[in-house]
Structure 1
Amino acid sequence: MDNLIGINGLRKSWTKHRQLKRPWQAHTYIAIDIETTGLDPINDQILSIAWVPVKPPMILIGEAQYHEFCIGSDVDLQQSPTIHGLTKAQLSSGGDVKKVLKDLEDKLYGCVMVCHHRSLDWSYLRHNSLTKNLHFEPLGVFDTLSYEKNKMSFDNDCQLNNSRLTLSSCRSKYGLPNYTSHHALDDAIACAELFLAQATKIKPFNEKLGFLLKQSR
């Protein structure tokens, strides 16, 4: 049994290695945004989630998903009604979070996850109580925030600060319009647009996926 597990692990690793050597445009990406009650993936709550597939150069808006989740009356929404526009009345009839997250688990398999704050979104998918029995296995994770931060760290004339790394600020550098709603679906689409703008700026246009992912760490 141990040998079988080892062989399967090697096979999976080799398959992933081969896929990472393909041009980045040959892959499917899933841009994700998660709205939560706070920054602690273990103790805070997921309020809503959205994702949209990307098959370069297209964003498949027709296949986008948006879900709000039902929460208990004892949950403190903190600043969510102000920031996200999500109230307890609105969330009292939310969807089946387990089914939605299982659908996302299936959707991410073999694709590349795209987000604007990997340490937050990816942590919620791995460590939140709602995802305890799920195993998200994207081919990789591209963080549009980290990509921009890495670019800025090499620019001697650019002072690194958080205000220049917001989704809106990063989009403005590529001439993309400003979305101000802080709605999960709007932010997922905004992140997808930013990803395409960033990826197409990398020289040459046919860079391998592995190289692209390294730029966003």
Structure 2
Amino acid sequence: MSFKPALVVVDVQEDFCPPNGALAVGGGRDIVPTLNELLSLPFPIKIATKDFHPQDHISFASNHPSPNNKPFQSMITIKNPLNPEETQQTRLWPDHCVQGTKGSELLPELDISKVQHIVEKGQDKRVEMYSAFADPFTNPNVSRSKLAEILHKAGVTDVYVAGLAADYCVKFTALDARKEGFKTWVVGEATRAVDPSTLPDVYKEYEKAGVLLVGVEDEAIKKVKEYS
């Protein structure tokens, strides 16, 4: 069986990182050296993703009436704009990664000179989109990025996922990579979570879906080092 790995670095953006991020993940900047180490490996395909929202995005608490508009706390129900029978519960967030703002920029210390593709997501104001592949609606999908197309066209077999945040965009990107038919690995040390207490549940979801959690010293990474 052929092996062609791709690295997907998820949402390592100013707004997800201390000290000034609107939705800063604890330790978000600390993973950059590990990410740069991964980017230096001979992955034939290296992709960075960006949350890239319009100002009127549905996930922003500021776009909803009081009292159900508390960032991090309030939950809302979103209807699939193409099929109102399909709904999703989602959390509201502070305004973040708004197109054209500093908060939407990738960290300057991330070595994007090694990246061939930057994939933007979350541009449809009507739907949440944690996964770098698509929004969570399936009947039908509302918004898809070009990520699946890039990976399939390149003949990728294995997708390695890292970045922010472990319990949201990394998780849903990894689960969707698996659904797309790729063998999927999440590099644990190269992620951080909004709420680390949820990680045991995240790992159970991975196990159920066939997503594998790996460390930077594991065999799965050594295999990439030997790729040629």
TM-score, scaled relative to structure 1? 0.33
* Structure with the higher fraction of residues in strand conformation: 2
* Structure with the higher fraction of residues in helix conformation: 1
Greater Rg over alpha carbons, structure: 1
